[in-house]
Structure 1
Amino acid sequence: MASIEELMRGNLLDVFNERDGDRRRAAIARIYAPEVRFSDPDETVVGHQALDAKAQHILDGAPGFVFRPDGPIRVSDDLGYLAWQFGPAGEAVVRGVDIATVADGVITRVYTFLITE
């Protein structure tokens, strides 16, 4: 069973940073509950297929951009927290935070907050 740290890292790097659809869908099946709910400032999507489409949409809109962790992963009970940045290599155009709930070794809920300064 994956740790919360591994799930949070996978959420960012193996799903939202993965441009190969087959590898991303395999990671989604491994990391999330079937009815996972993902919410960001734009919308809430539910389920593996919708999450895959959401990740693809983000990546399609930002060719050449990559997600990178922006600090340590923090864990409290069944919650994971990971700050991130998104932009061309070495540059942060967007910063944000993912907070996820975990049950039975998979992510059940993800909340994404964008950080504006």
Structure 2
Amino acid sequence: MTRSPADLMRVNLLEVFNEPDPDRRAAVIAENYAEDVVWHEPDHINRGLTDFARRATELLAENPDWVFRPAGAASGLDDIGHLGFQYGPADGQPPMISGMDIARTKDGVIIELYTIVTEIRQPF
């Protein structure tokens, strides 16, 4: 099944970065990202599926009780996908981080992902 850029953005946020099970996460990564995917974070560049999966696991471990939530609908145009996100405690408290993911896709997989953080709230 070939996914649209908007579909890939939803998978990226909800089925990778919210997935605590490493085997399910690895299967989703293998199916939805190019072998040579490049992921640009504000302070990291991750190259290839191995680095991508390792870094996703690290982020999940940093705040195990936090979740990502979409901020609006995912969108796509040609081979570009976009989805805003909020990230914070799962228990209904306000999110601590807001941002967006933008991806280039090809043949139904993400080939390049950019994560942009737009706001970091400090806890009281």
TM-score per shorter chain, which class? over 0.9
8 Å CA contact 2:86–2:99 kept in 1: the answer is yes
Q: C-alpha deviations, 1:26-61, integer Å up to 9, x for none?
A: 000111000000011111001111111111111111
TM-score by length of 1: 0.95
Does 2:103 align with 1:100?
A: yes
Q: Percent identity?
A: 44
Cross-structure match for 1:111? 114
Q: Structure 2: how far apart are the matches of 1:32 and 1:44?
A: 15
Number of matched residues?
117
Gaps (5+ residues) in structure 1?
none
Find runs of 4+ consecutive structure 1 residues off by over 3 angstroms: none
TM-score by length of 2: 0.90
Q: CA deviation at 1:116?
A: 2.1
Q: Secondary structure at the match of 2:60?
A: helix
Gaps (5+ residues) in structure 2?
none
Report the structure number with the largest CA radius of gyration. Answer: 2
Q: Alpha carbon RMSD of aligned pairs, Å?
A: 1.1
